[in-house]
């Protein structure tokens, strides 16, 4: 990498001031967790959006009981989609559905990735074992804090 490019890259980084109540974590571990915030924000967008997600406001449900059931169904569907996206990433399918300019990490949320894979390659996630995927995901996330 040319020297000027390195200089410009380092000058564009802004310092972060983070506060955390997470006990037992090193600063670099907290930074690694915080850097994943965009994935979380994209998941919120996926849940709320009428175009990309569940669009619960469009349901026209009025009663408390109906809204509770609708939210439960949406949460269950979201979990299954999230696990399908997680599995798709482990199968390296995310490279087919994101911009070619970013090749070192996944940029789509698991929900968006699952939607694309189900639309274009449904056989890839047809036999999804939810319990096994949850165990793998739980192990990965618990290791993520320790390794990061």
pLDDT above 50 (res 136)? yes
How far apart CA 102 and CA 113 sit, in angstroms, is 15
Q: What local confidence, expressed as pLDDT, does residue 47 receive?
A: 66
What's the average model confidence in pLDDT over 94-105?
76
Give pTM, 2 decimals: 0.62
In the chain, the percentage of residues whose pLDDT exceeds 70 is: 74
Contact 140, 121 (CB under 8 A): no
How far apart CA 116 and CA 119 sit, in angstroms, is 5
How far apart CA 20 and CA 5 sit, in angstroms, is 33
pLDDT above 50 (res 148)? no
Q: What local confidence, expressed as pLDDT, does residue 4 receive?
A: 62
């Amino acid at each position: 990498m040319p020297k000027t490019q390195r200089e410009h890259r380092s000058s564009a980084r802004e310092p972060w001031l983070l506060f955390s109540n997470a006990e037992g974590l090193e600063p670099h571990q907290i930074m690694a967790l915080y850097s994943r915030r965009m994935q979380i924000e994209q998941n919120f967008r996926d849940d709320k959006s009428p175009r990309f997600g569940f669009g619960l406001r469009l349901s026209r449900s009025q009663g408390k009981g109906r809204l509770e059931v609708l939210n439960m169904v949406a949460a269950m569907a979201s979990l299954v989609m999230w696990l399908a996206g997680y599995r798709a990433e482990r199968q390296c399918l995310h490279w087919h559905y994101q911009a070619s300019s970013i090749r070192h990490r996944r940029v789509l949320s698991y929900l968006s990735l699952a939607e694309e894979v189900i639309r274009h390659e449904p056989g890839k996630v047809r036999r999804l074992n939810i319990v096994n995927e949850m165990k793998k995901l739980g192990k990965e996330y618990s290791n993520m804090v320790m390794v990061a």
